[in-house]
Amino acid sequence: MKKEFKLKKFASFPLKFDLKMKLTTLLLIVSLFQLQANESYAQITKVTINLENVTLENVLNEIESVTEFKFFFNYNEFNYGKIVSVYAKKERISSILERLFDGTDMSFKVIDKQIILSRKKTTALSKSANDDISILQGFTVSGTVTDDIGQPLLGANILEKGTSNGTQTDFDGKFILETRDENATLIVSYIGFAVQEINVNSRKTINISLNEDAAQLDQIVLVGYGGVRKEDVSTAVGIVDADDLANQLTTGFDQAISGKVAGVQVLHTSGSPGGNISIRVRGTSSIGAGNEPLYVIDGIPLSGDTKFAGGSTSQYETPTNPLNAINTNDIESIQILKDAAAAAIYGSRGSNGVVLITTKKGKSGDLKVNYNVNVGVQAVTKKIDLLDAYQYSGLTFEARNNTYQDFLNKNNLMGGPGDSNDIRIANGAPSNSLVPHQILPYLDGTKGLTNTDWQDEIFNSALITNHTLTFSGGSEKIKYFVSGNYLDQDGVVINSGFKKYGTRINLDLTSGKFHTGINIAPSYSVTNKVNSEGRYADEGVIALALGSAPIFPVTNEDGSYNYEGNGNTRSWGSYSQSGQLNPVAVANLTQDELSQINFLGNIFFEYEFIDGLKYKLSLGTDLNSFRRNYYRPSTLEKRFTQGASVPTGFSRSDQFTNWVIENTLNYNTLYQEDHKTYIKL
């Protein structure tokens, strides 16, 4: 049948389309749109990333967190622990990966939003002492990998056992692999599924069905309203367990989780011992209302009010880190809740995310004693390249002559760079055109003069040690975990440091339907503070070191500190030179100590009325006591002032007390094998 369409507004003649032409046109249009859709994401998406000295796995996790790309690779053949640095600004993913894998045997293939990583194919297997067989002369096997309901699995890993020979499945779950011989064994793996070993047994086609890993699905995940099985979690939760935190020499757990959870940034805002760390969950959400997540330790929310305890001596002073009281070796797991659903029970406090920390508990069995010690050295990796004393003197001389010449030209006076200071003064030249007498020996090239590298004087290699002793054990009814910790961290800036002494006692008692426990963790820490972040005008030690003239020594011949560069009118300041206090004197003579006593503890009682129905009463407290003692002696001069200064000091105490009382009623049941009910009041 044919139909006639009249296009009245555009033409007066009829256009005739039969059904075949209509279908052809429709399919052509759909195909064009489909081609555009397939090319759009991988080719249009531009990625911005800036990571330094992190593992390759962290880079891939970061890319997944900021894009929709997903990586698939075989852990057995992929060096995901390699340390790399990558910087890219609005680049295509292919360009970033080419640089990332340059010089390695890894290759990648981008298929829409899926990126498959694999080793570069070789024509033959490496020969061993007793093996001369080429893979091209082996046995070819193909097949399909699906889940337990028959859905194909993209990116499943198929590895020939005992070799690095392997491949991955395509979009349809299909694979082709050439093995050594027909009796090879294939190891098939996929994230979230149990690993299978398949014997080829001369079969050219093998269809493989993988089952979900029950152990992973049964893992308990803590969310705002309690613990649920991992397979039942529908919210965004990042998990870091004790193995991920092991053998890391850090002052706090917040440093230890850096780069381990996608979408979580750990910002080191201070390099001072025990200095503050900022954590951002899914970026910055507020300009002025705060962006720190809520920290909950064994059910006790921590207060963020303690950050500014002890006051400050400079507007640039960084706050203290309230998380330093926690011993990383005592942590069993860290679970980061990233969305409102998971953090619902904490209300507005959880708007920036919630970090749930669970400490270790005792387990049934004999007494276990564990001693762990970590020792490390910290150092400044790169100093700023500055002029030495001779270069500094030459540049100062040139600057003074330029200023003097400008003065002569402006006032139509005769003279030149060879004029002495007496002539310059007679001509009425300003003080900043006079040549400081301190640099004259350097201009003459005299050898062996003072040549101070102030960065070397304020920086040193700093030792950090961490000791932890634990006792754990118990029976079916009573379990215990006891630990003691000592941390000593010297600062890379002289006279700075951080020490912490802590202990933890976790007891757990179960009798029939009654369950109770107590967790207490007292700690004491001392921070020797040095003003390292401030401006030179605020006596910031690093800024002073960068601005101090290298022609002055640290100390005089009698051992007292040298203040010639202070800028007072007796000497250096008479030439309008910028005054800088001796940074070594500022660091060593200023006494600034902040001590903290922290007590974190809770006790709970739980009773199960019927199967699945439990009532729990929990009492917790977070107590903090701070004392800061500050003293600036008279022997430390003031800027632009000669001689002894007026001594200043203060002693300040701050107390913070938080109490938590929770009454909860939980009902958790399973009926008809497939339906779960979880209610919390």
- In the Cβ-directed half-sphere of 486, how many Cα atoms lie within 13 Å? 5
Q: What mean pLDDT value characterizes the chain?
A: 80
The domains of the chain, with CATH numbers, are 4-43 (no CATH), 45-119 (3.55.50.30), 135-215 (2.60.40.1120), 389-449 (no CATH)
Task: Retrieve residue 618's tokens.
Answer: 């929990």
Q: How far is residue 77's CA from residue 496's CA, in Å, rounded to a whole number?
A: 45
Over range 138-142, report the average pLDDT.
83
CA 534, 537, 539, 545 torsion: positive or negative?
Answer: positive
Does residue 69 or residue 41 have the better pLDDT? Answer: 69
With beta carbons less than 8 A apart as the criterion, state whether 275 and 489 touch.
no
Q: CB under 8 Å, gap of 24 or more: what pairs does 509-516 form?
A: 509/477, 509/478, 510/476, 510/477, 510/478, 511/477, 513/607, 513/608, 513/609, 514/605, 514/606, 514/607, 515/605, 515/606, 515/607, 515/608, 516/603, 516/604, 516/605, 516/606
Q: What percent of the chain shows pLDDT beyond 70?
A: 79
Q: How far is residue 624's CA from residue 619's CA, in Å, rounded to a whole number?
A: 17
Residue 98 has pLDDT above 90, yes or no: no
Q: Which residues contact 531 (CB under 8 A, 6 or more apart)?
A: 313, 314, 317, 538, 539, 540, 541, 586, 590, 592
pLDDT at residue 7, as a whole number? 33
Residue 263 has pLDDT above 80, yes or no: no
Burial 585-604 (b: 16+ CB within 10 A, else e): bbbbbbebebbbebbbbbeb
Residue 122 has pLDDT above 50, yes or no: no
Using pLDDT thresholds of 50, 70 and 90, give the confidence band for residue 399: very high
Using pLDDT thresholds of 50, 70 and 90, give the confidence band for residue 144: very high
Highest mean pLDDT among 77-81, 205-209, 337-341: 205-209
Residue 316 has pLDDT above 60, yes or no: yes
Using pLDDT thresholds of 50, 70 and 90, give the confidence band for residue 78: low
* Predicted TM-score (pTM) of this structure: 0.64
pLDDT at residue 8, as a whole number? 35
pLDDT 10s digits, 221-254? 555 555 555 444 445 667 777 677 766 667 677 7
With beta carbons less than 8 A apart as the criterion, state whether 238 and 262 touch.
yes
Does residue 371 or residue 267 have the better pLDDT? Answer: 371
- N-term to C-term CA, the chain: 69
Residue 289 has pLDDT above 70, yes or no: no
Over range 30-46, report the average pLDDT.
54
Residue 623 has pLDDT above 90, yes or no: yes
Residue 675 has pLDDT above 70, yes or no: no
Residue 326 has pLDDT above 70, yes or no: yes
With beta carbons less than 8 A apart as the criterion, state whether 209 and 230 touch.
no
Q: What percent of the chain shows pLDDT beyond 90?
A: 35
Name which of 168-172, 266-270, 353-357, 518-522 the model is least confident about: 266-270
